[in-house]
Amino acid sequence: MATKTEQSTINEYSQSVLKYIRDRPRLRVLLLVGPTVGLLVAFVIVPVLIMLWYAFLTGLPPADYTLENFARIFDPLYLGIIWDTFLIATGTTIFTVALGYTLAYSMVRFSTKTTVLLLLVILPFWTNYIVRMYAWINILQADGVLNWALNSVGIVEGSQRFMFSHEAVLVGLIYVWLPLAVLPFYASIKTMDEDLIEAAKDLGAGPLKAFFTVTLPMTKNGIYAGLILVAVPAFGAFVTPALLGGTGSVMIGMVIDNQFNQAFNWNFGAALGVFLTLVVLASLLLAVLAGVEDKILKRPETEGET
C-alpha cells in the first residue's frame, strides 16, 4: 500500500515526466508513432528483405549465392502456372469490380433500405474465408446443390463436373472478394455530390449519360481502391485454388505453399514470393500511372468545355 506521501511523490514524478514529454514535441511524436513503425519495420519490411536474401541462396543460411531459384521460375511448368494465375486474377478483378460497382451503385441509387443492404454485404465479408470456400464445395461438388438444381430444372442430365476447374476457382475468388470491393465503391458513390447528377440531368443528360459523364469519373478513386483490394489477394490466392481447383487449376500461391510445407525448398519458395510481389507491385504501379495519365489527358478537355 502506498502511503499518502508516497502517492504524492508518484504524482509529482508522473507530472514531471508528462512535462518533460510535453516540452519535447519530437519525443512525443516518436513515442506515439514509434511502436507502430517499429513493429511494421521489424515484422514486415525486415522479413520481406530476408525473403529477398533467401531467394538468392542455395539453401538455408549460411549458403552460397545463386540465381538458380529465379531461373527455375522460367521453367515452362511454372510459366504455365504463372499465366493461369494471371488469367484467373485478372478475370476475378474485372468481374468483381464490375459486379461490385453495379451492386454499390444500385444500393445507393435504387434502394431506400441501404443500411440493411450494407449489413447484408458486410456479414459475408466478416465470415471466415475457408468457410465461404467450403460453402462452394457444397454447391459445386458432384452431387451438390448446383447439379441438383440444374437437373431439377432439366438444363442438364446427370452429374456435371464443376469442381477442380479454372471456372470453379474464378467463381470462388469473385465470391470472396465481392463484398470487399463493394465497400470502397459504396463509399465513393455515397459521398459524391448528387447535385452534379441533377445538374447534368437539368442540362439534358439522361440517367445513362449522367452516369458515364458524371458518376463514373467522380468515383474513380473508389474504383482504384476496389481494384487494388481485389487484385492483390487474387494474385496471391492459395486457399481457393487448393480447395476448388486442386490439380485442375494450380495458381502460384499454391506452388509457394507447396515449396514451403511439402518440398521444404524455402529458397525457391522465397524466389516465387519475390516474383509475386514484383508482379503485384508492378501492376499497381501501372494502374496508378494509368490513372495519373488519365487525369492529365482529361484536364484540357474539361477546361475546354467550361
Partner 1 sequence: MNINTVIGPVERFLEDHGKRVGFLILLPLFLFLWLPIIVVAFMSFADSVLVFPPENFTLEFYHIFLDNSQAWSAIFTSLQVSLVATPIAVALAIMYSYAFSKYDFPGKGVITVLIAFPLVVPLIVVGIALTLLFGMFGGTGSYWEVVIAHVVRILPFAALIILPSFLSFDTTLEEASKDLGANSITTFRRVTLPNILPGVIAGGLLAFTMSFNEFVYTYFVRGTGMETLPVYLWGRIEHTMSPEINVISIVFLAVALLMVAVAVLITDVERIAIR
Encode 77-102: b = buried (16+ Cβ within 10 Å), e = exposed: ebeebbebbeebbebbbebbbeebbe
Contact 225, 211 (CB under 8 A): no
Tell me how crowded residue 32 is: count the other CB atoms within 10 A of its CB: 9
The β-bridge partners of 65 are 57
58 binds partner 1 (CB under 8 A): no
Kindly tell me which of 196 and 205 has the beta carbon lying closer to partner 1: 205
Q: Which of residues 242-261 bind partner 1 (CB under 8 A)?
A: 243, 253, 256-257, 260
CA atoms of 239 and 75, how far apart (whole Å): 24
Helix, strand, or coil (residue 192): coil
CA atoms of 65 and 59, how far apart (whole Å): 9
Least Å distance between CB 267 and partner 1?
Answer: 10
208 binds partner 1 (CB under 8 A): yes
Q: Per CB under 8 A, which region of 68-76, 161-169, 263-271, 293-301 contacts partner 1?
A: 263-271
Residues in binding contact with partner 1, number by CB under 8 A: 96
| Backbone CA torsion sign across 152, 158, 160, 163 | positive
43 binds partner 1 (CB under 8 A): yes
166-191 vs 114-125: helix crossing angle, rounded to 10? 140
Kindly tell me which of 33 and 67 has the beta carbon lying closer to partner 1: 33
Helix (H) or strand (E) holding 256: helix 252-261
Q: Per CB under 8 A, which region of 63-71, 75-83, 130-138, 292-300 contacts partner 1?
A: 130-138
Of the candidates 8, 15, 58, 221, which one interacts with partner 1 according to CB under 8 A?
15
Side chain identity, residue 254: M
20 binds partner 1 (CB under 8 A): no
Among 214, 190, 220, 193, CA closest to 302: 214
Q: Per CB under 8 A, which region of 2-10, 73-81, 90-98, 265-273 contacts partner 1?
A: 265-273
Kindly tell me which of 157 and 303 has the beta carbon lying closer to partner 1: 157
CA atoms of 52 and 186, how far apart (whole Å): 38
CA angle in degrees (0–180, nearest 5) for 119-122-126: 130
The number of C-alpha atoms within 13 Å of 235 and in the hemisphere containing its C-beta is 21
Kindly tell me which of 42 and 71 has the beta carbon lying closer to partner 1: 42
Of the candidates 4, 5, 23, 25, which one interacts with partner 1 according to CB under 8 A?
25
Of the candidates 8, 58, 106, 221, which one interacts with partner 1 according to CB under 8 A?
106
Q: Which of residues 209-238 bind partner 1 (CB under 8 A)?
A: 209, 228-229, 232-233, 235-236, 238
Q: Is there a cis peptide before residue 61, judged by omega within 30 degrees of 0? A: no
Least Å distance between CB 286 and partner 1?
Answer: 13
Kindly tell me which of 65 and 110 has the beta carbon lying closer to partner 1: 110
Least Å distance between CB 61 and partner 1?
Answer: 8
103 binds partner 1 (CB under 8 A): yes
10 binds partner 1 (CB under 8 A): no
Grid coordinates of 114: 441501404
CA atoms of 39 and 41, how far apart (whole Å): 6
Q: Which of residues 62-91 bind partner 1 (CB under 8 A)?
A: none
287 binds partner 1 (CB under 8 A): no
50 binds partner 1 (CB under 8 A): yes
